[in-house]
Amino acid sequence: MTDVLRRGRASLAFAFLVQGVAFALLVTRIPAIQDRYGVSDALLPAFLAAVPVLAGIGSVATERLVKAVPPSRVLRWSQPVVLLALLGVGAGEHMAGLAVALAVFGLAVGALDASMNMLGVSLQRAYGRSIMLSFHAAYSLGGIAGASLAWVGAHGQLALWVSYLPVVLVLMPAALIGSRWYVDQEQREGRGEDRHQGHVSGPAAESEDRAGPVAFRLLLPLCLVMTVAYIGDSTVSNWSAKYLQDVLGSSEQMATVPYNVYMVTTLVGRMIGDFGVRRFGAAAVVRAGALVAAAGFAVVAGAPGEWAGMLGFTLLGLGLCVLVPQTFAAAGRLFPGASDAAVARLNVFNYVGFLIGSPLVGVIGDVWSYRGAMLVPMVLVLVALVHARSFAPEPDRYGGGHERPHTADVGRGSHGL
């Protein structure tokens, strides 16, 4: 494994971490944003829904954009835009300014998420082993850091722009400097990285590298898994505190704990998840994750008290954390010659799940019960079991029944992130 790949992996992990910080700083300060701009409770859902909708548009636009420019360039410039838009949210004074800042944030986040995962899939292919979960672990770590910084700002009653400005001043130049070492597939090929790592050459390699159409029929199972994973994630993000306090009778202080526990267990699960994929295979890890997540929702739904509920949210973190990274990785394996397009399209369903999850639980909770509402994502997450075969790598075959040689495990013996 070359220093180019090592630096590329470290710089991309830092980009994931920065994005985790930025997103957490936005979503954890929504009440403060609402108070600053005087956004009514009736209007707030429209503002919140606009961000993932525009992010989906940004992801679709990125699929077209990377046909002309490499994903690394999209990531290099979309990340500063996200950070500046975050600062704009904190520094504005009028609702129109908030709308513009959130629109820019949403569009840039879509481009950022898509390009980050494009580079992650490409690097995993170069490494020849599972490293995708390590990137998302960096995102989880950034989320924990961002939520902690948001707590400091709220506890100190700091103005939003005062909370955001130091973060932007530190992270934006650091991200721009780190972007110098991003590695695109074209850059690796120009340096001969793939040839040195056991990839085939000649007509077979040309067939593999030639971009072809992404068959939605093959991508659909992964789209469904991505959607239900984010339905589960948004359920925890938006309803864990309310559920613990209103249904399980915990204190207001204790009600803030489940999401923190969920974030920590998500980080832990992603830190060790790549080892599980290497040992047992992606399909087995996805099956295990779906079962653990379903068990977590079942425990939450039937919990007699706050500590049992906490156990359920812990299981949810351990189960859901593997689904999204492995879904992106599976898209790269299914479409090795068109992985950028597959990742961009798949990324849209990240936002679809986010849009569906919170309203779905709210409606069912109001009409029936919140315990019953937790059973819905429990059932939906089992979709991953049905489509687990889509995560199993299948050998690429060329004419005459020849099987493509396995990529060398160039990273064996190296230290993970």
pLDDT in tens, 211-231: 457 888 899 999 999 999 999
Of 144-158, 179-193, 267-281, least confident by mean pLDDT is 179-193
Residue 201 has pLDDT above 90, yes or no: no
Q: Is residue 187 a part of any domain in this protein?
A: no
Q: Is the pLDDT of residue 269 over 90?
A: yes
Per-residue model confidence (pLDDT) at position 407:
40
Separation of alpha carbons 101 and 55, rounded Å = 13
Return the percentage of the chain with pLDDT > 70, whole number. Answer: 88
Residues 165 and 217 placed together within one structural domain of the fold: no
**Residue found by looking up tokens 């998840």 in the block:** 273
DSSP state, 249?
Answer: -
Q: Do 256 and 375 belong together in one domain?
A: yes
What is the structure's pLDDT at 208? 41
Higher per-residue confidence, 398 vs 4: 4
Q: Which domain holds residue 288?
A: 202-393
| pLDDT confidence of residue 329 | 96
Q: In terms of domains, do 211 and 288 share one?
A: yes
Per-residue pLDDT tens digits for 134-149: 999 999 999 999 989 9
If asked whether residues 41 and 148 sit together in one domain, one would say: yes
pLDDT in tens, 230-246: 999 999 988 998 899 89
Looking at the fold, whether 116 and 25 belong to one and the same domain comes out as: yes
CATH code where residue 160 lies: 1.20.1250.20
> 354 and 221: one domain?
yes
- Last residue in a domain, options 133, 151, 181: 181
Structural domain includes residue 154? yes
Task: With respect to residue 403, please indicate whether it lies within any of the assigned structural domains.
Answer: no
Q: Is residue 347 domain-shared with residue 246, that is, in the same domain?
A: yes
Decide if 400 is inside a domain.
no
Distance CA 145, CA 271 (A): 16
Tokens of 335: 């479409």
Residues 170-189 have a mean pLDDT of 87
| 406 within domain boundaries | no
Task: Confirm whether pTM is higher than 0.75.
Answer: yes
Tell me if residue 402 falls in helix, strand or coil. Answer: strand
Does residue 242 share a domain with residue 165?
no
Task: Using DSSP, state whether 192 is helix, strand or coil.
Answer: coil
| One domain for residues 71 and 171 | yes
pLDDT of residue 89: 96
User: What was the pLDDT predicted at 316?
Assistant: 96
List Cβ neighbours of 362 (8 Å cut-off, separation of 6 or more): 239, 373
Q: Are 280 and 143 in the same domain?
A: no
CB 172 within 8 A of CB 80: yes
Examine residue 148 and state whether it is found in any structural domain, yes or no. Answer: yes
Please, which residues have CB within 8 angstroms of residue 247's CB and are 6 or more apart in sequence? Answer: 370, 371
Residue 213 identity: P
According to the model, what pLDDT value does residue 187 have?
Answer: 60
102 within a domain of the structure (yes/no): yes
Q: For 282-301, how does the pLDDT look when each residue is reduced to its tens digit (9 = 90+)?
A: 999 999 999 999 999 999 99
User: Looking at the structure, do residues 311 and 163 belong to the same domain, yes or no?
Assistant: no
- Provide the domain count of the chain: 2
Residue 236 and residue 141 in one domain:
no
In a domain, 71, yes or no: yes
Q: If you average pLDDT over residues 264-269, what whole number do you get?
A: 96
- Going by C-alpha positions, the residue among 212, 240, 184, 216 that lies closest to residue 349 is 216
SS3 string, 91-110, reads HCCCHHHHHHHHHHHHHHHH
